[in-house]
Amino acid sequence: MSTSQLPPEGASAPAPAGDAWLHPVVAAHLRPGETLLAAAPGYLDGLLPALPREYLPNLDREAGGLERAFGFLVWLWPPTWFQAAAEWVENRVYPAIRRKFHGGAWSGGWESTAGRLLVSCYLSGDRPPAGLSTRIALAVTSHRLLLLTCTRVHDEPYDAQVIAELPHGTYRRRGEPHPARQRCRLDLEFGDGSWLAFELSRPELVPQLADVLS
């Protein structure tokens, strides 16, 4: 156990909230004097927008330009029509229907705190803009809010990388409620008024993190 986790002499520190298997993963990134309060695996909300082209690395921008320039050739092949129609329904129509009942997924724009966190998450994986399929670990410490990379496998420790961090006092649970049927959802609001929706892996993790954030 590192010195950042040792309780005062004669006292026992309460165990961090959240998933116990994730605690040692986050503990590797704690600073001296910092205590882990809660950690949970989850996802970015599924209805968040795709990353705008201007935020992609230069190589991906150039590849996208070539695709737009010569993409019409692909449309000469009939099966492409059906695939494109199916993707349009999946990526545009279905999300548009869901958004009517979703209660929003973020606010503030790409230059806000929420937007910068979203960009960092999208670019944290192997291929922008999807990142690691938007899967992340969310951790609250005595000093910071941490967003870390997260594997797809539950209950197995791994070497995480810190995607982004915010100092204590610049974040809180969003006061405006989201639809009650979204039982795994946790919305975080930031100092500039922007906010971002997260989906935790299990409903019971939401009140645990909410209690730490309050």
Alpha carbon of residue 189 to chain centroid? 13
| pLDDT score recorded for residue 161 | 93
pLDDT digits (tens, 9 = 90+) for 125-149: 644 444 334 789 999 999 999 999 9
- The residue-averaged pLDDT of 71-81 equals 53
Residue with tokens 């349009």: 88
**Where in the chain are the domains?**
17-50+102-213
Q: Provide the token pair at 42.
A: 């989850």
**pLDDT per residue over 164-180, tens digit each?**
999 999 999 998 887 77
- pTM of this prediction? 0.75
Q: What is the pLDDT of residue 81?
A: 53
* Alpha-carbon span 111 to 158, nearest angstrom: 31
Q: 76 pLDDT exceeds 60?
A: no
Look at 127 and 45; give whichever has higher pLDDT: 45
Assign 49 a pLDDT band (cuts: 50, 70, 90).
confident
pLDDT of residue 14: 80
- Amino acid identity of residue 150, one-letter, is C
CATH code for the part of the protein at 17-50+102-213? 2.30.29.30
